Structure 1
Amino acid sequence: MTTIRTGTDLAAVEDVIVGITAHGERYLARVFTPRERADARDDPERLAARFAGKEAVLKLLRPARTDAVPLTDVAVVLDPVGAPVVELSGRAAELAADIGCGAIAVSLSHERGLALATAVALSER
């Protein structure tokens, strides 16, 4: 049976700024892929939107509480026309395959210090 899976997340831009200020490159490398950083030009608002996108995708995939999924296994990057798309690797890709998940659509928005993302996909489980 095909089901619709959704995930939504809200992130504070200030949290990303604090992470960058406190941990610099270590934080950025742990949370974002090089392509995400390049697409966002390391702008905290755009990075917060991508962070919310990652969290929305993880909510859609529903990993077990004991299942560690690195944030860099979910990348929210821009396609050639500038629209956000999801690229999965590692454990996130395995979870998607396990549930028969097709392509994941993501929508991002940021305004007034907050970033919002919604992810939607069709799944066979």
Structure 2
Amino acid sequence: MTVIRTGTDLTAVDDVVRGIATHGERYLARIFTDRERADSGDDPERLAARFAGKEAVVKLLRPSRADPLPLRDVAVVLDQDGAPTVELTGAAAALAEAIGCGPVSVSLSHERGLALATAVALTER
């Protein structure tokens, strides 16, 4: 049976700004991949959109509370046309395979200090 899975998240840009101000490089390296940082130019608005994208994908994958996913295992990067796309590695890729999850699509938006993301995928179960 094919099932549609969705996830959505809303992130305040100020939360990302505070994370960077408080923890600097340690915060950035713990959450974002090098590619995400390069794609965003370390701009807090764009990073907040990627953070929301990561959270939306995690909600779509629905990991157990006992096995949370590292946020770096979900990367929201730009394809050759500049559209956001999702790359899963490590535990996120393993969970996606275990639930029969196909490619994940993501939509990002940011405005007035907020960043929003929605993720959608089909699973075969």
Task: Report the TM-score, using the length of structure 2 for normalisation.
Answer: 0.99
- For residues 18 and 4 of structure 2, the distance between their equivalents in structure 1, rounded to whole angstroms, comes to 35
What is the 5 A alignment of 1:92-103?
Answer: 92-103=92-103
- For residues 70 and 59 of structure 1, the distance between their equivalents in structure 2, rounded to whole angstroms, comes to 13
- For residues 69 and 5 of structure 2, the distance between their equivalents in structure 1, rounded to whole angstroms, comes to 18
- The residue that corresponds to 2:60 in the other structure is 60
SS state of the match for residue 24, structure 2? helix
SS state of the match for residue 65, structure 2? coil
Structure 1 residue runs of 4 or more that deviate by more than 2 Å after TM superposition: none
- The residue that corresponds to 2:21 in the other structure is 21
RMSD over aligned Cα atoms:
0.5
Deviation sequence 1:26-82 (CA, Å, 0-9, x none): 000000000000000000000000000000000000000111311000000000010
- The residue that corresponds to 1:121 in the other structure is 121
- The residue that corresponds to 2:111 in the other structure is 111
The number of equivalent residue pairs is: 125
- The residue that corresponds to 2:74 in the other structure is 74
Comparing 9-18 and 63-72, the one that deviates more: 63-72
- For residues 4 and 68 of structure 2, the distance between their equivalents in structure 1, rounded to whole angstroms, comes to 24
Task: Report the TM-score, using the length of structure 1 for normalisation.
Answer: 0.99
- For residues 84 and 38 of structure 1, the distance between their equivalents in structure 2, rounded to whole angstroms, comes to 13
Identity of aligned residues (%): 77
| Structure 2 residues not aligned, in runs of 5+ | none
| Structure 1 residues not aligned, in runs of 5+ | none
